[in-house]
Amino acid sequence: MNPSIQLKKVTALFVVAFACLALLPTTQAVSPAPDGCYPNFTTAEGCDALSFLTTGAANTGLGWRSLFSNTDGSFNTGVGGGALALNNADSNTAVGAAALLLNTDGEENTAVGTGALVFNDTGSNNTAVGAFALFSNIEGDTNTAIGVNALVDNSTGGGNTATGYNALSNNTTGSLNTATGVNALQHNTTGTFNTASGLLVLQNNTTGDSSTATGTFALQNNTTGHDNTAIGQSALFSNVDGDSNTAIGFLALSNNTSGSGNIALGLLAGSGITTTDNHIAIGLPGENGPSPRCYIGNIRGVTVANADGINVIIDSDGQLGTTNSSRRFKRDIKAMDQISEAILALKPVTFHYKNQDTKKAENTPQFGLIAEDVAEVNPDLVVRDADGQPFTVRYDAVNAMLLNEFLKEHGNVQEQGGTIAELKKQVAALTATVKEQAAQIQKVSAQLEASKPAPQVVLNKD
């Protein structure tokens, strides 16, 4: 039920109770009578306070022309010169000179401080505590401002919460913002769904929406960027119009100005990124470069503690994982046989990547294969991109096929080795036979030489 209706019922009960009290035996009245005590639970004290009250009940006006125009509004409290001067609505509380001065129909507002909610006309359910808090609000509802100048320029924005000096002080029509801290969201005008907690957080945001910043100076220079999240001192400090960034940690993404879709986690994470998009930096500064990129610290150069480390890969959905080799994870297992012979047609090349930083790479050549060439040999050896174009080579599969070809060749070599060994035996046997035959031949030759008749000498009688 509406609280105002409930209060009106309470008023009726008060009237009945008052009538019952009137029937009690006459008691000694206070003498002199209390100053400013009027019927229907009304208290008025000050020049023209509650001057036009008719049927309104339970109002309290203390101060020059406090609740001056109120006729039938009830349950209002105005304390201070001009407090609720034009009010004729219910359940407003104004404490301070000119607090809720121009309110006419707005209900259930609370203003504490000089000029708090001074221009509010029809806005309801607002709470302002502090000099000039919600000063310019006219019809914005459900705002809470605590602090000097908090939401001072708000006119029609609703659902805002500002706590701290100058918090959301320039907001006019922006709604559903939360600012906690000195100058938090100070220059926001029409931006919505922003949350700022800390000194100067989102201070320069004007029209950016749906950003969350926690920590001194976080997102301080953001103006129109939206959907950013900054947690940590000076996180996303320099961001102006970059969108959808997430920075968690001291100075995380602190130098980003217009880059969007970046994620940084850790001390100084992403601090080297300024204008590029879709970078991820975890524990490393990162740097500008073709998008997207990912930087993760404490990996390179660090040896794992256990000797059972395995390779990590990534699939087309961006999921990190490993390949499992156990039989229990596989089906349709069969020998590779002749399939691996396709790799014999592959053409290894040397190359340089086009987007490689030549200063860092020092023109170091790369070694590998061209995916399009591999696809012509065996389409199953390439991975394709979202458009179906060859993207990279399945080098793990190529290695497996190389192993199969090696094993096949090794088998051939072993078989040939057996044949060669047998041939060696045969050659050795033949050699022995030849040697034996040579010895016999030599023996026979010697015998023949010995059996020849001795040569005769012919004398010449001349």
pLDDT of res. 433: 86
Higher model confidence: residue 421 or residue 455? 421
For the stretch 73-86, pLDDT in tens is 999 999 999 999 99
For the stretch 340-362, pLDDT in tens is 999 999 999 999 888 666 566 56
Report the half-sphere exposure of 65 (CA within 13 A, side-chain side). Answer: 11
As a whole number, mean pLDDT of residues 267-292 equals: 92
Cβ neighbours of residue 51 closer than 8 Å, sequence gap 6 or more: 65, 68
For the stretch 123-136, pLDDT in tens is 999 999 999 999 99
Q: Which range of residues forms the domain containing residue 407?
A: 338-436
Q: Is residue 228 part of a domain?
A: no
pLDDT of res. 431: 86
- Residues of the chain with pLDDT > 70, as a percent, come to 89
Higher model confidence: residue 11 or residue 141? 141
Does 311 have pLDDT greater than 80?
Answer: yes
Q: Is residue 361 part of a domain?
A: yes
Q: Is residue 242 part of a domain?
A: no
pLDDT of res. 164: 96
Q: Is residue 423 part of a domain?
A: yes
Q: Is residue 305 part of a domain?
A: no
For the stretch 242-260, pLDDT in tens is 999 999 999 999 999 999 9
pLDDT of res. 458: 66
pLDDT of res. 18: 37
Token reading at 257: 């100005």
- Name the pLDDT band for 300 (thresholds 50, 70, 90): confident
pLDDT of res. 33: 62
Q: Is residue 257 part of a domain?
A: no
Q: Is residue 120 part of a domain?
A: no
- Domains in the chain, number: 1
pTM, two decimals, is 0.74
CA-nearest of 150, 197, 156 to 170 is 150
For the stretch 168-197, pLDDT in tens is 999 999 999 999 999 999 999 999 999 999
8 Å CB contact between 190 and 176 = no
Q: Is residue 416 part of a domain?
A: yes
Does 5 have pLDDT greater than 80?
Answer: no
